Homo-oligomer: A and B are copies of this chain.
């Protein structure tokens, strides 16, 4: 195929020779259905669920279907020094997939095959565009599951989950995405394909590149396949819903569960304003809700231990071992984000603090909210100390109000002051970059920049993100 096959090969929207050359080479080397240069179509790839809007639309979009498409795109972009933004389903909340006018978007959502699912070795090999819930469903046919369950699981891709080291509800017991990634195939900035990790659950040959790439937000390499650990579905679950007269009391109860030595499969805290948004009838039951689920052969015994610890602190406690009833109890948590989206544009923060500081974090967030007169809604993966304070702004405003920025800033400062982190599971993206150096410190920050250069000497991979 030659460039003349593609009317868009030298589009007028590119401003530099490098961009024009890149589009020509991509049109020459990729199948026609793998490349979009129409600015109107490409514009849809400029942002992600964070709503972050860079100036201008992306240069073009490569719709990768095979690893070879990725190597072609990267090899040419590397040679020409053009920025590349890898992208899954675009459900990121930190702007990690936002792409401005100088960037080539590398859309991996079409690499969506489950290449292997081995019930024997309890693992799956998947392409990055596989929807997370779809893998979990496929594993379920064999009595297995994919443990990480970010709230976006029905929409987000495995590649995006790995890029952000996504968390979810079940992390307290089953770990984050990193704990389920055994190995990766990834393409380096220059187009070299590397394989990391292994198919075994243990192995220490070489440096742990698998963990290094997990959570690197597309800045070190582009993941083209992942070998993922699957876990047996638990034989039983038992679920508790407890209401409290204050959100601090709910946080104290979560901490008491941890102190009692119980590791629940999930422990979700929902504060009063969120309950009100989901259903005013729930808010009437208490000022905060704590949902705890235990699973496995000891689920009922563990739930009873949880109930004993929680009852003295709660205003009401319900318990069930019935999965349908459990889902009804969990609905208050699952409906939180859709309910807040009805109120406006939610800015979802993602701080994490040591478990013992959870009540203090909750109190600090409330003080920030009051000080800036900004309503802050809080849900938390309580057993992890991972809080999502959510600022809801009027979507009709031309830009975010200063008070919202100031509140977010103080929430980050609060997290660091409590010995915590800016982001527990969503990633830094563009939204949290200005605070990263504060958390890492200058020596670790400089080291991270050297690592970035060792992977991507021309700096083409998702520039301006993560670091």
Interface residues of A (CB under 8 A from B): 118-123, 143, 164-165, 167, 171-172, 175-176, 178-179, 188, 192-196, 198-209, 211-212, 214-216, 220, 231-233, 235, 255, 258-259, 261-263, 296-299, 301-302, 305, 352-356, 381, 384-386, 419-428, 432, 436, 439-441, 443-445, 447-448, 450-455, 466-467
Contacts and interface: CB of A to CB of B under 8 A. Distances in A.
A204 B165 contact: yes
Given A200-B419, A296-B297, A298-B301, 13 more contacts: A194-B443, A198-B352, A201-B355, A202-B425, A203-B421, A203-B423, A204-B424, A205-B428, A206-B439, A232-B263, A447-B455, A450-B455, A453-B454
A181 to B, nearest CB: 11
B171 A448 contact: no
A35 B1 CA distance: 69
A355 B199 CA distance: 9
Nearest to A350: B204
10 contacts: A120-B255, A121-B355, A200-B354, A200-B385, A201-B355, A202-B385, A204-B425, A206-B467, A207-B448, A450-B454
Contacts of A424: 200, 202-204
A97 B204 CA distance: 16
Contacts of A118: 354, 356
Nearest to A294: B297
A204 B426 contact: yes
A455 B454 CA distance: 10
Given A296-B296, A297-B302, A451-B451, A212 B202 contact: no
B261 A444 contact: no
A432 B452 CA distance: 29
A121 B211 contact: no
A249 to B, nearest CB: 17
Interface centre among A188, A193, A206 (most CB of B within 10 A): A206
Nearest to A236: B298
Given A232-B262, A298-B299, A208 B203 contact: no
Which has the most chain B C-beta neighbours within 10 Å: A123, A261, A302, A455?
A261
A357 to B, nearest CB: 8
Contacts of A123: 354
B209 A215 contact: no
A37 to B, nearest CB: 31
Given A201-B385, A204-B165, A233 B261 contact: yes
A352 B195 contact: no
Given A193-B443, A298-B296, A356 B121 contact: yes
B297 A355 contact: no
Contacts of A201: 171-172, 352, 355, 384-385
